[in-house]
């Protein structure tokens, strides 16, 4: 079976971000087709496609769309381009190399859901990607694709704007994103009500990840069933998997949703660095529970990874070879969550700092076995006790690292130092040749 590439096919082609080239490659034909369809028929195709949210939660996109109350207007669309979960680096390539594909997905989604104003909330650190999106929006507006009439054919006004964040992981959480877009600090909201009912400025709002929306033109063009056929069960299509860490060829690989994780690492990403043995894999962004080397012969499909005790999440796969220190890695992850906790809920605000401090002491050899036990206790006290998922996201790595690699933690306590010392991040710490879809980045 030849591989179907939905999202990455055009990356790296000269001028791939330009409107004329997008159109020459068949761009905006799906929007044209959607203009001839009933809005409910478009939603129906997306439901049939089994498209699930690519931001991390894997929620059924078509189902989410049906949560909009029937009779409340205006409604808004917000595209989540806040890609900030450690190990996740996929949406940036869509925005940089095929921004019109995203824009076409936005236009079709808005047409289907009777939405006339959409925002792309992009993390502040993505300057290049924000410029690419702004240029694409300006081109589409000048060409009459968006604006007062869609594709210059239908009286359907649509405005699309880029809203740049300013450095806060929490703003990738959808209700914090809305707060931020309203000009406030990113404090997550209590749910319910969910954003589809009470969202931006109190109005019904659909929030979808960049990759999710970028699939919509293909689904409309080729039909929901064709998309579903690329996957298995309740998951359709392809996904952008990002592989980073101790592999020979890190990068973004577009593969069917149910692709095998071991194959992705050992074949596509070129296997483990320096011919060393694999130690561990975080399969879906830093929040996903870690898998030991013997646990990775699994499908990356959302439910399959869940059955293996972890999460497919954002598709960000982080690989550790046998020379890496798992305590050092977890200490750094704990620092991330302590840094990024918004401070609203006490268990997360206090607990993430405690975990960071304890892990730092364990890594430095200044702790005992009782501290390792206490660390687990703190993680268990955060999980499930916070408004948003950041608390769980901070607890899950700690719980899973301790479950699978506890002897390493205890060895630090016994030796009174890190057994790996200067090579705690691995025996090879160099940039490597990288891949993003069809593109190659020589180091």
Partner 1 sequence: MTNHAGGVEGLPREKVEQFDRELSRILDRYPPDRKASAMIPALRLGQTLFGYVSPAVQALAAERLGTSPARAEEVATFYVMLETHPFGKHLVEVCTSVSCSLSGGDRLWGYLQQKLALAGAGSTPDGRFTLREAECLGSCGTAPAMLVDEEMYEQLTPQKVDQILGGLK
User: Can you give the binding site for partner 1, defined by CB under 8 A?
Assistant: 83-89, 92, 117, 123-128, 161-169, 180-186, 201, 242-246, 250-252, 286, 316, 318-320, 324, 329, 332-333, 336, 339-340, 342, 425-426, 429-432, 434-436, 441, 443
47 phi-psi bin (left φ>0, alpha ψ -120 to 50, beta other): alpha
Give the ranges where 15-98 is alpha helix by DSSP (H).
Answer: 19-24, 29-35, 39-49, 61-65, 91-97
Closest to partner 1 by CB, 64 vs 123, is 123
Q: How far is it, in rounded angstroms, from Cα 265 to Cα 244?
A: 9
**Closest CB to partner 1 among 182 and 297?**
182
Neighbours of 408 (CB within 10 A): 20
For partner 1, which is the closer residue by CB, 30 or 81?
81
Query: Smallest gap, in angstroms, from Cβ of residue 263 to partner 1?
Result: 18
Angstrom distance (rounded) from CA 47 to CA 49: 5
Q: Least CB distance from residue 277 to partner 1, whole Å?
A: 15
Closer by beta carbon to partner 1, 66 or else 429? 429
Residue 420 Cβ, how far from partner 1 at the closest point, in Å? 12
Question: Closest distance between partner 1 and the C-beta of residue 185, in Å?
Answer: 4
Residue 186 CB, nearest approach to partner 1 (Å): 7
Shortest distance in whole angstroms from residue 281 CB to partner 1 = 12
Cβ-based nearer residue to partner 1, 164 or 406: 164
The residue (of 128 and 417) whose beta carbon lies closer to partner 1 is: 128
Rounded-to-integer distance, Cα 138 and Cα 132, Å: 10
- With left for phi above 0 and alpha for psi between -120 and 50, is residue 15 left, alpha or beta? left
Q: Which residues contact 263 (CB under 8 A, 6 or more apart)?
A: none
Within 221-286, strands assigned E span 238-245, 251-256, 278-282
CA 256, CA 156: separation in Å to the nearest integer?
Answer: 35
> Which H or E run includes 440?
strand 439-441
Q: How far is the CB of 223 from partner 1 (least distance, A)?
A: 32
Nearest-approach distance from CB 183 to partner 1, in angstroms: 3
Select 221 or 286, whichever has its Cβ closest to partner 1.
286
Q: Is 214:5 a contact under the CB 8 Å cutoff?
A: no
Q: What is the DSSP letter of 191?
A: S
* 231/245 with CB nearer partner 1: 245
Tell me the pairing of strands 316-321 and 278-282.
antiparallel
- The minimum distance between CB 161 and partner 1, in angstroms, equals 4
Kindly report the backbone phi and psi dihedral angles of residue 248, in degrees, each rounded to the nearest multiple of 5, phi listed first: -75, -30
| CA 61 to chain CA mean position, Å | 15
* Cβ nearer to partner 1, comparing 43 with 95: 95
């Amino acid at each position: 079976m030849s591989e179907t590439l939905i999202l990455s096919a055009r990356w790296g082609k000269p001028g791939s971000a330009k409107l004329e080239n997008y159109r020459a490659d068949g761009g905006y034909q799906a929007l044209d087709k959607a203009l001839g369809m009933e809005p409910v028929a478009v939603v129906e195709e997306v439901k049939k496609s089994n498209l699930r949210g690519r931001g991390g939660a894997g929620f059924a996109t078509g189902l989410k769309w049906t949560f909009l109350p029937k009779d409340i207007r205006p409604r808004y669309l917000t595209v989540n381009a806040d890609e900030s979960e450690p190990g996740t680096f996929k949406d940036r390539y869509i925005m940089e190399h095929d921004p019109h594909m995203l824009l076409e997905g936005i236009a079709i989604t808005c047409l289907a859901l009777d939405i006339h104003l959409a925002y792309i909330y992009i993390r502040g650190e993505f300057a290049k990607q924000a410029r690419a999106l702004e240029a694409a929006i300006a081109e589409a507006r000048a060409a009459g694709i968006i604006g007062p009439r869609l594709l210059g054919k239908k009286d359907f006004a649509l405005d699309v704007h880029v809203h740049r964040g300013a450095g806060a992981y929490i703003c990738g959480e959808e209700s914090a994103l809305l707060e931020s877009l309203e000009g406030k600090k990113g404090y997550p909201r209590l749910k319910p009500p969910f954003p589809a009912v009470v969202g931006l400025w109190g109005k019904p709002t659909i929030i979808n990840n960049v990759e999710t929306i970028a699939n919509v033109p293909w689904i409309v063009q080729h039909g929901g069933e064709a998309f579903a056929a690329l996957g298995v069960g309740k998951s359709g299509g392809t996904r952008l998997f990002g592989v980073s860490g101790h592999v020979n060829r890190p990068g973004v690989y577009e593969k069917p949703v149910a692709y095998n994780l071991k194959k992705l690492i050992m074949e596509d990403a070129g296997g483990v660095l320096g011919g060393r043995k694999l130690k561990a894999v975080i399969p879906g962004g830093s929040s996903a529970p870690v898998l030991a080397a013997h646990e990775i012969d699994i499908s990356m499909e959302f439910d399959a990874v869940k059955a293996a005790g972890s999460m497919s999440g954002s598709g960000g796969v982080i690989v550790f070879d046998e020379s890496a220190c798992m305590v050092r890695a977890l200490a750094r992850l704990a620092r991330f969550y302590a840094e990024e906790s918004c401070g609203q809920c006490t268990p997360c605000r206090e607990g993430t700092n405690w975990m960071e401090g304890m892990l730092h002491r364990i890594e430095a050899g200044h702790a005992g076995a009782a501290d390792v036990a206490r660390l687990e206790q703190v993680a268990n006290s955060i999980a499930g006790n916070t408004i948003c998922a950041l608390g769980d996201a901070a607890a899950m790595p700690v719980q899973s690292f301790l479950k699978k690699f506890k002897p390493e933690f205890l060895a630090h306590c016994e030796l009174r130092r890190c057994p790996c010392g200067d090579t705690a991040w691995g025996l090879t710490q160099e940039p490597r040749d990288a891949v993003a879809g069809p593109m190659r980045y020589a180091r």
